[in-house]
Chains A and B, each alone.
Chain A
Amino acid sequence: MFEALSDKLRKVLKDLRGQGRLTEAHIEAAMREIRIALLEADVNFKVVKSFIDRVKEKALGQEVIGSLSPAQQVVKAVHDEMVEMLGGTSTQLLFTRRTPNVVMIVGLQGSGKTTTTGKLAKLLAETQNRRPLLVSVDVYRPAAREQLSIIAKAIGQPALQAPQLNDPLELCREAVRECQLTGYDTLLIDTAGRLHVDEELMHELQQIKQETQPVEVLFIADSMTGQDAVRSAQEFHDQVGLTGVILTKMDGDTRGGAALSIKEVTGQPIKFIGVGEKYDALEQFYPDRIAQRILGMGDVLTLIEKVQAEVDEEKALELQKKLAQNQFTLEDFRDQLKQVKKLGSLGKLIDMLPSGLFGGLRITPEQSAEMEDKLKLTEAVINSMTLQERSNHAILNASRRKRVARGSGTSVAEVNKVIGEYEDMRKMMRMMTSGGLGGMMGGGGLGSGGRRKATKRRKKKKKR
């Protein structure tokens, strides 16, 4: 979609190599590109201005580090400044010993307050051992309270049921009372969405804040917001006083420049980001990752962490053992595919990598969907086999293959293909393990013997 900033800068600064220091010329040339990149990422133009001034000042006269080109050096300066501005470190919610700790959720209409309230409750309950109670005080939007109740049910957390109450303040009081009676230690208040020009509703928020004395007032911001992000955040901060920000809909392809704008005008940390429609799709905010995203540099760290979290280490070890004994069955093959699937959409995974890594290769959503479909099909085929067949594929004769095809809704040709792929993989793995280096899951490189064999094999294929 966007040409990565680093590529653009490389072009601009191409002629300026071989100098020991960043000169004015370097920086002036680069800043125009950076300005456009930031504006295209929806960073507010005023914020862009002050940001660029600061970067200029810092970058000027910096020594060029040996291994970096001037282009990389400028990007690094911009990146560092942005990380610093976005908060330096990630921030947790802070709770006191009071009962209940009140967390107020505020934001514009359609920013995702209700869904985020649910996600946050689930996160707090599961990772911080909190006992949350949810209450919606949105008495204006049709069915807003029903929506929160349904979400509460889905995440298995309680929501205050008080259909007889129609006043936001009354609802808050009742919720606090309920917490004190039953021992819920955290009260999440989902407030009504508003266009910030609405003074009456701003006043209502102030009253709720006064009444409940929240420990956190979290501003929910749509990451796709444009230049107006500054104004709405400012308004909410001035009128209500925010303690933190949650950015939603980060699973789209927005660059999320609004993050920078909001941080700049409110000075409050961004605490979480919403990354999907499922209720566990709320993640910690890491400034360096968002900085990379705004600058179009991929999101390598998130990816690495994801791989580490999702790939089950025990399973990996077991697999390694099996490989050593040459017992890699169809069932293991399926497990391995499942691990890949667990990481999420393949396109998304590859998007997280910097564009340089695959020589600018980009996977289109269609290609990614195709690959995922293939994974699904392979899984279905294997699922349709008996246990015996899975552990010994040699017994799969024509009639068995026909049955499997029928069972998985595929054709015999497709079943053959899956078995063929499995055999290829098995061969490849045997080669690797015979190379003496413990298999690919162990993370070691290819053994020298293995490499030689692998190339030989490739040559053979070409001849065919």
Chain B
Amino acid sequence: MELLIATIVRGVGIGSTYALIAVGFVIIYRATDVVNFAQPALVILGAYFNALFVFNYGLPFPLAVVGSMAAMALIGALTERVALRPMVGQPPFSAAMVTVGLFFALYVLAARLIGANVITMGDPWGLSRVDFLGTTVGQVDIAKTIISLAAIAVVGVFLQRSKLGLAMRATALDQEVALAQGVNVGRMFGVSWAMSGALAALAGVMIGTAGGGMVALDAFVALKALPVIILGGLDSIKGSVVAGIFIGVAEALTRTYQPGNADFLGANFDVVVPYLIMVIALMVRPYGLYGTKEVQRV
């Protein structure tokens, strides 16, 4: 029972970071109809900036997080302006491939900056543990969950309540109509990318707070947000949160219980669990749990 609780807490922790990355995907997808495959590269770049601010400039951890979020927001908006703006009006697949190209360019940059090092975030939690429902769990998992969900809540409130959020939702609904109502659609694209970049940076820091630190290859961990957005639906923030936590918990449970109980599935089977869930989900619901069904015209 204690093992189960500890596993679930760990799963929720990692799942909420998946949700964080997924919300970044969803914001960009809703605004621009582009699935941003470069997001994982933004995630590790964000983590790198955080480590840079903490260890090279001596900033306290919270300030460093805000700093890296700001830096990544800038890089996100810049990327959009340079590489994605010329793709407006092109088929969504071309734009998605541009982000794949961007992923390689940014990933190589990040890998070059990080090198072969393991970077740590300088976070206050470290390996300390707290009591939770009669067992001890990593403080970092609780912190991950709270911070991620709080950030997503802030994004949600921003989109619902603020004028800018309203403009962004209008852009997501129909770009031309939004344009006709006086919304600066191009700027909304930039804002979406900036928000997504900031969320990616936060997610990178959250991933990096795990005991082992972070290496450049962790970009491929961030790719697990793809099954999350497919399961939740490409355009649903609610779906991202539900699916993120679901997949995180499923993965953690597999990691704990599969060795010993189902050894024939092979070592590190938990790595493929998110993708298997995605495949099954697509068989049942082609547009995910909360995704909007695409309307087709001849």
Bound pair: A and B?
no
Residues of A that sit less than 8 Å from B by CB? none
